[in-house]
Amino acid sequence: MIKLLLVEDNKFVRNITADLIETHGEFAVAAQADNGLSALALLENGLEPDIVLADLNMAGMDGIELTQKLSARFPDIKVIILTMHAKTTFLNKAISSGVRGYLLKNGDMNEVYDAIRRVYRGEFVVGTDVKEGCGKY
């Protein structure tokens, strides 16, 4: 079972995403957080997810800063950014921070499931809609 930490500031989106992920028997949402600071606190208190699925823009600590901190302190935890931003500048910042996946929220949920599996196996994943918006990826 692949354990996830879901980090999203919009409670409605967070809950729906968690419900959709939980419907797949191969995934478990181990915890939820409303920003990077809350997520980091959960990890520092012993939470051990395989993957962090995080929003890009959040108050307190965004997905980029969270990824940078995780890369330094918890290098075995992989991060997938789930965002509305399909611009190359955001993607490049995310890649530089150490993310292993970058997907759009308006994409297909099956693509999210596939990305979780692939990132868990060690692959780097950029969503189809992101590739179309950014070109070279």
- Say what the pLDDT of residue 96 is: 92
Q: Do 52 and 39 contact (CB within 8 A), yes or no?
A: yes
- Say what the pLDDT of residue 5 is: 97
Q: Do 81 and 87 contact (CB within 8 A), yes or no?
A: no
Neighbours of 57 (CB within 10 A): 12
In the block, residue with structure tokens 């930490």: 5
pLDDT of residue 25 exceeding 70, the answer is yes
pLDDT of residue 31 exceeding 90, the answer is yes
pLDDT band at residue 88 under the 50/70/90 scheme: confident
Over range 107-114, report the average pLDDT.
90
- Say what the pLDDT of residue 69 is: 95
- Say what the pLDDT of residue 136 is: 54
pLDDT of residue 130 exceeding 80, the answer is no
Q: Do 104 and 83 contact (CB within 8 A), yes or no?
A: yes
Q: Do 102 and 78 contact (CB within 8 A), yes or no?
A: no
For domain 41-137, give the fold.
Rossmann fold (3.40.50)
Q: Which residues is 126 bridged to in the sheet?
A: 102
pLDDT of residue 80 exceeding 60, the answer is yes
Concatenated DSSP letters of the chain:
-EEEEEE-S-HHHHHHHHHHHHTSTTEEEEEEESSHHHHHHHHHTT---SEEEE-S--SSS-HHHHHHHHHHH-TTSEEEEEES---HHHHHHHHHHT-SEEEETTS-HHHHHHHHHHHHTT--EE-HHHHHHHS--
Query: What is the pTM (predicted TM-score) of this model?
Result: 0.92
- Say what the pLDDT of residue 116 is: 96
The pLDDT mean for the chain works out to 90
- The domain limits of the chain are 41-137
